Structure 1
Amino acid sequence: MTTTTRQNPPRTGAPEDVASYDARELTGELGQAYLTLDGQLYTLRITRAGKLILTK
């Protein structure tokens, strides 16, 4: 898996030296991705309303 950084700065004013990812590219056609942190599995998904949900 490759990481993709955004071409345009985020609207939130996040610093440029912080990694930034496009959620639609990250979640793919299914709108869902799995992330791990310290051995814990999390699910990131995009709802029909276009909101992001992160669950453990």
Structure 2
Amino acid sequence: MALFALTAHNKAPSAVSQPLERISVEMVRLLVEVVEGGELAAITLPTSLVLRASA
């Protein structure tokens, strides 16, 4: 999972965790479908907010 930092004033830094392996697998699957003549499609994958204590 990848973490992308988010910050806000006077708050502890947090991050959004994204399933990069699954994103990659789904991206290839969708591309193969289109190359084989299928319809364009979009999917939504789950993410999670990782709250962290301030440093």
State the TM-score, normalizing by the size of structure 2: 0.35
Instruction: Determine which structure has greater relative contact order: mean sequence separation of CA pairs < 8 Å that are 6+ residues apart, divided by chain length.
Output: 2
More helix by share: 2
More strand by share: 1
Largest Rg, 1 or 2: 2
